[in-house]
Amino acid sequence: MPDRSSSPSATAPAFKTWPRAILLMDMNAFFASVEQRDRPELRHRPVAITNGQQGTCIITCSYEARRQGVHTGMRLKEARQLCADLIQVPARPQRYAAVSTTIMAALHENVSPDMEIFSVDEAFLDISRCQNLLGHPADIAQHAKQVVFEASSLRCSVGVSGDKTTAKYAAKLNKPDGLTVIAPDEARQTLADVPVTELCGISRGIGEFLAARGVHVCSDMARLPIGVLAQRFGNPGRRIWYMAQGEDPDPVHVNVAPPKTIGHGKVVPPDTRQREILLTFLLHMSEKVGERLRRHNMQAREFFIGVRCRQGWLGERCQARLPTDDGRIIYQLCQQVLRHVWQGEGIHQVQVTALDPHSGDQQLQLFEPTPVQQRASNEVMDAINQRYGEFTLAPARLLGRSEMPNVISPAWRPFGHRKTI
């Protein structure tokens, strides 16, 4: 009998490979699932995650709660009217970020290195090149689900198709713990009767623009000239035209771009009019921005500093004398801006953002904005806080900072510049 191991047909797939295969992995009620995994007493019970014990808005909830009508964004008081035995659990962003990092690393190593981390609980994988090794896209999807479970003991839903938009749509069709495959040549027909606003990236505003031109479901899009969208929205408009027809051209973006801004904001007690409270919050945000700049070896010279009242934002752009990564210097700018823009209005939120972060590997200035001693102190403080927890060592004024925990930014990524919460 001939040795088939050396025959080309022995390694060729027994199916027709897809020219492009995209997989979207979506964790099921991720934050709630992590809590139920870590705390067995919460399993099979309705759980609502809030931003701290004082939080009143539900960040996410378990499927047990969802079956009783509870949903993300609902107020806790309203949710308890629907589900009397609802259990409130304060969010643990650091924990969720750590679990996400483990999951993403497992997918990158065991499924495909061509991965775009879309959010803390979602990732696109281009599996086009994996078909000869791992099999049909449906088999790769099942393998990805097993990889996620082995890495985290959590279930996920997976959608597979020939483009990102259709794969993401597929992933939400059979939750939780689902697997939906839409072949590339079936994508257009599958999306035909789907409202365009159900596709990722088509906001209500864009939906209203399309509806005014007779586009309500995806099949309507072919009757609208692509130039209409291109003229109004540019290249994103052209992409939307293709998305609705199952031909989203957007590739999986493997590389994480350096941040264009680095910022932190915080909600303050409603209608705050005490200057000292606002300064404490602004110092808190200044130190967080400074720490992130130092962590990524970046500096910035231009900042936006603002406070939000009922009428909108009060703030302005300002410049440090030289590029800096020192929270003290950023805080001095905050004090100046507050004097300029605030006249005692009730404030609800503060924001500090570095607008032009760039590499800090530059020639030292003759007159450094941060003295050598302060730079050394910052390095020591960062090392201690990294080991023992955020703001273990901090300016004394921050003893009065907000007790509300951090949240995971939509731009969070476990690898590269955006690994922060």
Q: Which positions are annotated as active-site residues? A: 122
**Under DSSP, is residue 317 helix (H, G, I), strand (E, B) or coil?**
strand
Distance CA 392, CA 387 (A): 9
117 contacts 418 by C-beta, under 8 angstroms: no
Q: Nearest CA to 307 among 261, 276, 260, 268?
A: 268
- Rounded Cα distance, 171 and 180, in Å: 6
Is residue 317 a contact partner of residue 355, using CB atoms and an 8 Å limit?
A: yes
Amino acid identity of residue 206, one-letter, is: I
Work out whether the CA dihedral 357, 360, 366, 367 comes out positive or negative: positive
Q: How far apart are CA 310 and CA 296, in angstroms?
A: 35
Partners of residue 75 on adjacent β-strands: 57
CB atoms within 10 A of CB 88: 15
Q: Output the CA torsion 307→313→319→324 (10° steps).
A: 50
Q: What whole-number distance in Å separates Cα of residue 294 and Cα of residue 312?
A: 31
Q: Residue 194 has what DSSP assignment?
A: S
* DSSP letter assigned to residue 217: B
Strand partners, 352: 264, 305
Give the torsion through C-alpha atoms of 169, 171, 172, 173, to 10 deg: 90
